[in-house]
Amino acid sequence: MLGEFEQQAASDQLWQCWQSGTVISELPADRRPSSRGEGYAIQARLMRRTALPLFGWKIAATSVAGQKHINVAGPQAGRILAERVVPDGATIALGANRMRVAEAELAFRLARDLPPRAADYSEAEVSAAIGTLHPSIEVPDSRYSDFTKVGEAQLIADNACAHVFMLGAATTADWRSLDLAAHPATGAIAARGLRHQGKGANVLGGPMIAMTWIANELSRLGVGLKAGEIVTTGTLVTPVPLQEGDELIADFGALGSVSLRFK
């Protein structure tokens, strides 16, 4: 079992890789998490690196295909740091990013807290705590040279592959009247003829199912969700491969569209 010193050493090493764009094969044995709980304990120490409030949370590996790709059995939660959030239409550098993909996602802003408690939250309770829905794009990355081999505990410690997040404006559509599981989305790079299509059911069966999962995951961790935080629920489409010079447009139909450029 890892002590505080080992957890901090692991967090420091992953943070340094994130900032420098370097990678490691895996964490050294003396600081390597062996459980999801230890992975989350390492991840939580990221908050010592920011002076800003937590922007929100991401859910990784929400599709069966995504779970198989990184060899995990289920989804994972990661923190979105405010310094890593960009606006709609921004241009970001791909730099040393090794994943080089973008994901079209639906994100929700909490209107009220969902604090830790003994009983699980129901989907209805989670839905009632949501204020707004936003179209968004996530650009993930990993600090491991082969993120498909390190296992779920180390991936959680690596902040569930969080990197850059783009949040669009809150939709003006009546999203509560829509079947979000059936709702379509497209991630496209017109200049290269790339067009990936998907729907809300690709994230654990639907965005509200994913929201309920993370509310209960964080409740069990003693963390909870707080009013004002954003949760992005996972990619509706197969991740779109990126190159320098690309412009990605994520189109969610009635819920809006957003874009990112890459240099």
Q: Please, what is the average pLDDT of the chain? A: 97
Q: Amino acid letter at 67?
A: Q
List the domain boundaries for the chain: 54-262
Residue 24 near residue 32, CB atoms below 8 Å: no
Task: Identify the residue whose tokens are 């935080």.
Answer: 229
φ, ψ (nearest 5 deg) of residue 48: -75, -10
C-alpha–C-alpha distance, residues 112 and 131, integer Å = 8
User: Which stretches within 71-223 are classed as H helix?
Assistant: 123-128, 152-157, 207-220
Percent of the chain with pLDDT over 90: 96
Chain segment 132-151, per-residue pLDDT in tens: 999 999 999 999 999 999 99
* Token pair of 100 as six digits: 């080089």
C-alpha–C-alpha distance, residues 30 and 11, integer Å = 13
Contacts of 38 (CB under 8 A, 6+ apart): 1, 2, 7, 153, 157
Instruction: Tell me: pLDDT of 168 over 90.
Output: yes
Instruction: Tell me: pLDDT of 64 over 90.
Output: no
Chain segment 16-34, per-residue pLDDT in tens: 999 999 999 999 999 999 9
Question: What's the pLDDT score for residue 63?
Answer: 85
C-alpha–C-alpha distance, residues 57 and 109, integer Å = 10
Question: What's the pLDDT score for residue 119?
Answer: 98
Residue 209 near residue 179, CB atoms below 8 Å: no
**Can you give the length of the chain in residues?**
263
**CA-CA-CA-CA torsion for 209, 214, 217, 221, nearest 10 degrees?**
-160
* Token pair of 87 as six digits: 């606006």
Task: Identify the residue whose tokens are 């990013």.
Answer: 97
Tell me the pairing of strands 56-60 and 76-80: antiparallel
Q: Amino acid letter at 5?
A: F
Task: Find the mean pLDDT for residues 74-103.
Answer: 97
pLDDT-derived band at 93 (thresholds 50, 70, 90) equals very high
pLDDT-derived band at 182 (thresholds 50, 70, 90) equals very high
* Token pair of 144 as six digits: 């491991």
The DSSP H or E segment spanning 177 is none
pLDDT-derived band at 233 (thresholds 50, 70, 90) equals very high
Structural domain 54-262, CATH architecture: Alpha-Beta Complex (3.90)
Chain segment 193-211, per-residue pLDDT in tens: 999 999 999 999 999 999 9
Q: Which residues pair with 114 in a beta bridge?
A: 225
Task: Find the mean pLDDT for residues 165-189.
Answer: 98
Instruction: Tell me: pLDDT of 99 over 90.
Output: yes
Task: Find the mean pLDDT for residues 178-192.
Answer: 98
Chain segment 67-81, per-residue pLDDT in tens: 988 899 899 999 999
